[in-house]
Chains A and B, each alone.
Chain A
Amino acid sequence: EPEVTQTPSHQVTQMGQEVILRCVPISNHLYFYWYRQILGQKVEFLVSFYNNEISEKSEIFDDQFSVERPDGSNFTLKIRSTKLEDSAMYFCASSEGFRIGTWETQYFGPGTRLLVL
């Protein structure tokens, strides 16, 4: 069964450093997403991406964050200058397609656990 994969599984970085989290969405999916989950808290939406541009983003997704689809398979989340509060589990998800007002199932990857020291 096709699945979303993410690398690395764990990332430890120093505050102020840049990190890039990588995702390979399911191959025939058109929409890609990043969510994060701070330990003990709810899963929170960060950003959605379609046709090589951001479709929606939350208040969390500020100028420190960026997303990119550098090639036909990868989808990346970059945090330019990490802060302590960026420590969280980051999940990538993908879905087949999207029409406003209809449902669309999102499939999640296993996550990358980011720890900022």
Chain B
Amino acid sequence: TQLLEQSPQFLSIQEGENLTVYCNSSSVFSSLQWYRQEPGEGPVLLVTVVTGGEVKKLKRLTFQFGDARKDSSLHITAAQPGDTGLYLCAGEPNNAGNMLTFGGGTRLMVKP
């Protein structure tokens, strides 16, 4: 089983601060996806990264896939209360079919 470890598990910051969430594995992934999940709802896709070293930006969110495709990070600039939520990374294991392996999530709270 290929595991994805997310850190930190919880993060509480003030509005305007920057933060980075990490998603790490000892295994290689064909792709890595970041989702955001609200309580009682399904994961909503934010971005998919595919190429080692790839960087994608979504407004104030910057996603990076590690060169070796074993890790990824999500950086939020100038966090806002609306960014509060659970952020999940999920990877498609290399040559292991189309199942997604999820990390445990980072619960972010941005205080005004």
Chain A residues near B (Cβ < 8 Å): 4, 6, 31, 33, 35, 42-45, 48, 55-56, 58, 89, 91, 95, 98, 100-111, 113
Chain B residues near A (Cβ < 8 Å): 30-31, 33, 35, 40-45, 48, 50, 88, 90, 92, 94-95, 97-105
List chain B residues, Cβ under 8 A from A104: 31, 92, 98
Which one of A56, A89, A91, A108 contacts B99 once the chains associate, using CB atoms below 8 Å?
A56
List chain A residues, Cβ under 8 A from B42: 4, 6, 91, 108-111
What residue in chain B is nearest A103 (Cβ atoms)? Answer: B31
Q: CA–CA, A58 to B97, complex, Å? A: 12
Q: Are A56 and B97 in contact (CB under 8 A)?
A: yes
Q: CA–CA, A105 to B65, complex, Å? A: 16
Q: Are B41 and A56 in contact (CB under 8 A)?
A: no
Q: Are A42 and B97 in contact (CB under 8 A)?
A: no
Known: A43-B88, A56-B98, A101-B94. A111 touches B103 (CB 8 A): no
Q: Are A111 and B41 in contact (CB under 8 A)?
A: yes
Q: CA–CA, A6 to B40, complex, Å? A: 13
Q: Are B99 and A31 in contact (CB under 8 A)?
A: no
